[in-house]
Structure 1
Amino acid sequence: MTSDLLHRIDSWTSLTVLVIGDAILDSYLNGSTDRLCREAPAPVVAVHQQLDVPGGAANTATNLASLGSRVVFLSVLGADREGERLRQALEQRGVSSAGMISSEQRQTLAKQRVLAGSQILVRLDQGSTEEISPELEQQLIDRLMTQFPQADAVVISDYNYGILTPRLLHKLKSLQSEFPRTLVIDSRQLSIYHPVGATAVKPNYDEAIHLLGLPKQPRDRAEQITPYGDRLLQLTGASIVAVTLDVEGAIVFEPGQPPIRTHARPAPQNQTSGAGDTFISALTLALASGASTTTASSLASTATAIVVQQPGTTACRAEELRQSIIDARSPSKLILDQSDLATYVQQYRAADRRIVFTNGCFDILHPGHVAYLTQAKLLGDVLIIGVNSDESVRQLKGNGAGQSFKRSAHGLICLKLC
């Protein structure tokens, strides 16, 4: 199972994904504070660092690239400093900005967060949210018509900030009908995408209960949503509906199948920004590579669990996802034969883990062994210990030698040599 998942991730490098949606510049001003200003009871923050990262649809594009695929990103920016900073942030993360249109008619969407330590004190939002002009709309449609047939998958990331116009949606429907693709949609207004023919949609909890007309509740959200899987599929027109539930994980529906439930690792609220973008990126790539809905849901949840352990708006790297899968399915200590060990070594090398090897008799385990094994473990990420067989020990030490050591210390992989 592990090798199948790793092979699936490896195959993502052959995929081209088209992303279209609202690009946002997420900017973090990190500093410290130890006093209030004289004008008002507000903290004075001494800024030490400014970090610009792609947000919104741009974060989805970044996650797709980080997970290994080639990304074509279509959006509209303002011809301003924020737009240039967003382009630079994308290029630094391996996403070409060539598909984005700059316009004097627009102001780039930007969300600037001021932090003291790890605490967000204030968020300042700016940018155009009205519908794009007919001229910009036509430019986007022209690029969409060129890129759609060449893509293996298409992701719509719609924050309702004016990029996805009715005319563009109509063109998307006709393209999907003529060139069926893995089409995944993340939108605050999913009902308008019903005619498009989506492979999957990803509403969050608030969006799902809005579609269903249900009241919001603070806990047991999966139990509240579960009876309405068929209704969500009907309302969205999608083949798969994946509802993300924050700390409760996600629940995934498809026709005629029991719901798929995934769970989340607890994480601070200020580290969950962009987690939905990671989920939809991994889900899209898994489905486009032919994975089952269960496998795709598992990979998406694993990738999301990685990014929510990191501060700010972040992306999951393919190497991190691979290693997480290896770690989850590998006990901390194993005794393997040579053929099984070769498989593990290949996986650890692919994940760029440093491997250390040593061997010994270990018929009598003494403090010297403990000291040198501890030192060996510090030299890398994985320590492989070759343990001489009983026959080998007797050849070296005579017939009176004791049984060879058969147990591994914590975190070690042992190989019994013949």
Structure 2
Amino acid sequence: MSSDLLDLIDRWKSLTVLVIGDAMLDCYLTGSSDRLCREAPAPVVAIHQRQDIPGGAANTAANLISLGSKPLLLSVTGTDHEGDRLRTALEQRGLSLAHLLQSDRATLAKQRIMAGSQVLVRLDQGSTEAIAGDLERTFIDQLIAQFPLCDAVIVSDYSYGVLTPRIIQVLADLQARFPRTVVIDSRRLENYRTVGVTAVKPNYEEAIQLLGLPKQLQNRAEQIAPHGDRLLAITGAAIVAVTLDLEGAIIFEAGQPPLRTYARPVPQNQTSGAGDTFISALTLALATGASTTTATNLATSATAIVVQQPGTTACKAEELCQAVIDATSRSKLILDQSDLATYIQQYRAAGQRIVFTNGCFDILHPGHVTYLTQAKALGDVLIIGVNTDESIRQLKGIGRPINPLSDRLIVLSALSCVDHVVPFAELTPKNLIRIVCPDIYVKGGDYTRETLPEAELVEELGGDVRILPYVDNRSTTRLIHQIRTLHV
């Protein structure tokens, strides 16, 4: 599995991706502050470092080149000081300026004044009105020329005047003639409904605005989850990936159950540009034929890398490859029973809610993924007990398992909703349950409370038993039967 993902990332080198939208300059002025000014109760910051980084559509292009592909950035800057700094920052990252149009507009720029790692104030500047007619015509000419030459297109629309209704219509006409992987990140996604979009990436606030829902501070995924079909209809996209900050993301695809990913908490001032990384990796993966689940997991991994770094940053291909390798080894995720107690003690000390389930997981399919995603949503930590090969033979008979224990552990641990997998050789996981003392014990819908031999033990230890519905027509036994039928 690791080699397949590494091959997929390597194929990104062959992709040309057109990025259109609002390019901007992200400037970080960092210094120290130990006093207030006399004129007002405001800190005095002694600046000792200035860092200019591509932002907006320019940061998306920077992520694409860092991930190994060839981006073409089609945007607009001014002929001002900020425009010069943005162009220099792009050139330093190996990006071509051939399609970066210049005009008398003021370059979009965001300056952050920082004391140490703390952002004190952000100063925004630049033209936000719609681009003039002659510039719009030049932009359209470039779009028409470059679109057929690209493998994928990313639209980065901050509603700052570059993406006019006429340009959006030309984009729709080009997509109808030369279908490509087209992914949209926009504050006005409804305007792209007729473009023939592959995927869109609204953040939480953009999603609730589209749905007319109130803003809430917690349980955002649960609020959004029932509205996947509406989001797909409103946007006209085949895939909707709603990013939820600390709660990760929830992904909708027609005819498929929602897919959840989970994020590691980081300081809010380190998430600038994380959405650009997510959409870049998602687009590259989809353009090379990856499934929605694989593309989402790669995008989530790339985002996890950049949010560990301060400021607006880009994910490097080699960093993502290393993350894939690390995820495959999963030394910290694949545990034996002797190590499990140590982790449980740490989770208890942190006040985290532990969810436990168990099974064979012989051939992982969408029913499993949906079930495990729902299980994770019930708590903070999801631990899975996995039957050894011999215990499966005792339960299922000769010929099972199809996949050996080592493969099943690696595949399960690669799911972002899974925190630990632990093999067990007994026919029931009672010994594991005694170690874990789960807050919630979860099993699939073909069980009842009365048919679970573990239920009484879980409740004696203070836990709850939950039965989650399986996805219809999704089972390992059914898949094996279909495969065998093909060879009759």
Matching residue of 2:2: 2
Matching residue of 1:211: 210
Q: Secondary structure at the match of 2:194?
A: helix
Matching residue of 1:94: 94
- 1:34 equivalent to 2:34? Answer yes
Cα distance in 2, alignment partners of residues 246 and 44 from structure 1:
31
Deviations 1:14-69 (A, max 9, x none): 00000000011000001001111121111111111100000011111111111000
Report deviation, 1:139.
0.5
Cα distance in 1, alignment partners of residues 97 and 168 from structure 2:
22
Counterparts of 1:234-249 in structure 2, within 5 Å, are 234-249=233-248
What is the identity, as a one-letter code, of the residue corresponding to 1:227?
Answer: P
Structure 2 residue runs without a partner (length 5+):
333-488
Matching residue of 1:261: 260
Cα distance in 1, alignment partners of residues 279 and 231 from structure 2:
17
What is the identity, as a one-letter code, of the residue corresponding to 1:62?
Answer: A
What is the identity, as a one-letter code, of the residue corresponding to 1:319?
Answer: E
Matching residue of 1:191: 190
What is the identity, as a one-letter code, of the residue corresponding to 1:305?
Answer: A
Q: Secondary structure at the match of 1:326?
A: helix
Matching residue of 2:151: 152
Identify the structure with bigger relative contact order (alpha carbons < 8 Å, sequence gap 6+).
Answer: 1
Matching residue of 1:321: 320
Matching residue of 1:393: none
Cα distance in 2, alignment partners of residues 169 and 116 from structure 1:
41
Cα distance in 2, alignment partners of residues 21 and 112 from structure 1:
20
Cα distance in 1, alignment partners of residues 229 and 125 from structure 2:
38
Report deviation, 1:188.
0.0
Report deviation, 1:331.
4.3
Matching residue of 1:19: 19
Deviations 1:256-305 (A, max 9, x none): 01111111011100000011000000000000000000100000000001
Counterparts of 1:11-410 in structure 2, within 5 Å, are 11-104=11-104, 106-332=105-331
What is the identity, as a one-letter code, of the residue corresponding to 1:234?
Answer: A
Percent of matched pairs sharing the same residue: 72
Cα distance in 1, alignment partners of residues 330 and 274 from structure 2:
28
What is the identity, as a one-letter code, of the residue corresponding to 2:35?
Answer: R
Q: Secondary structure at the match of 1:219?
A: coil
Distance verdict in 2 for CA 1:150–1:224, change over 3 Å? same
Cα distance in 1, alignment partners of residues 200 and 249 from structure 2:
13
Cα distance in 1, alignment partners of residues 235 and 52 from structure 2:
34
Q: Secondary structure at the match of 2:159?
A: coil
Deviations 1:160-214 (A, max 9, x none): 0000001101100100000000000000000010011100000000000000001
Cα distance in 2, alignment partners of residues 170 and 48 from structure 1:
46
Cα distance in 2, alignment partners of residues 225 and 144 from structure 1:
35
Report deviation, 1:325.
1.0
What is the identity, as a one-letter code, of the residue corresponding to 2:33?
Answer: T
Cα distance in 1, alignment partners of residues 255 and 39 from structure 2:
63
Report deviation, 1:332.
4.2
Q: Secondary structure at the match of 2:193?
A: helix
Report deviation, 1:136.
0.5
Cα distance in 2, alignment partners of residues 293 and 328 from structure 1:
18
Cα distance in 1, alignment partners of residues 24 and 286 from structure 2:
26
Cα distance in 2, alignment partners of residues 41 and 98 from structure 1:
47
Cα distance in 1, alignment partners of residues 38 and 210 from structure 2:
48
Deviations 1:120-175 (A, max 9, x none): 11111100000000011001000000000000000000000000001101100100
Cα distance in 1, alignment partners of residues 258 and 96 from structure 2:
37
The CA RMSD over aligned residues, in Å, is 0.9
Cα distance in 1, alignment partners of residues 198 and 327 from structure 2:
29
Cα distance in 1, alignment partners of residues 187 and 196 from structure 2:
17
What is the identity, as a one-letter code, of the residue corresponding to 1:133?
Answer: A
Cα distance in 2, alignment partners of residues 226 and 96 from structure 1:
40
What is the identity, as a one-letter code, of the residue corresponding to 2:53?
Answer: V
Report deviation, 1:91.
1.0
Q: Secondary structure at the match of 1:196?
A: coil
Matching residue of 2:341: none
Matching residue of 2:460: none
Cα distance in 2, alignment partners of residues 159 and 8 from structure 1:
30
Cα distance in 2, alignment partners of residues 265 and 320 from structure 1:
17
What is the identity, as a one-letter code, of the residue corresponding to 1:86?
Answer: L
Structure 1 residue runs without a partner (length 5+):
334-418
Q: Secondary structure at the match of 1:30?
A: strand
Q: Secondary structure at the match of 1:164?
A: coil
What is the identity, as a one-letter code, of the residue corresponding to 2:7?
Answer: H
Q: Secondary structure at the match of 1:121?
A: strand
Instruction: Calculate the TM-score normalised by the size of structure 2.
Output: 0.67
What is the identity, as a one-letter code, of the residue corresponding to 1:295?
Answer: T
Cα distance in 1, alignment partners of residues 216 and 117 from structure 2:
28
Q: Secondary structure at the match of 1:195?
A: coil
Cα distance in 2, alignment partners of residues 33 and 208 from structure 1:
38
Cα distance in 2, alignment partners of residues 331 and 267 from structure 1:
21
Cα distance in 2, alignment partners of residues 166 and 246 from structure 1:
30
Matching residue of 1:399: none
Instruction: Calculate the TM-score normalised by the size of structure 1.
Output: 0.79
196-205 or 29-38: bigger deviation: 29-38
Cα distance in 2, alignment partners of residues 63 and 92 from structure 1:
13
Q: Secondary structure at the match of 2:75?
A: strand
Over 4 Å off, 4+ runs: none
Report deviation, 1:75.
0.5
Q: Secondary structure at the match of 1:265?
A: coil
Q: Secondary structure at the match of 1:75?
A: strand
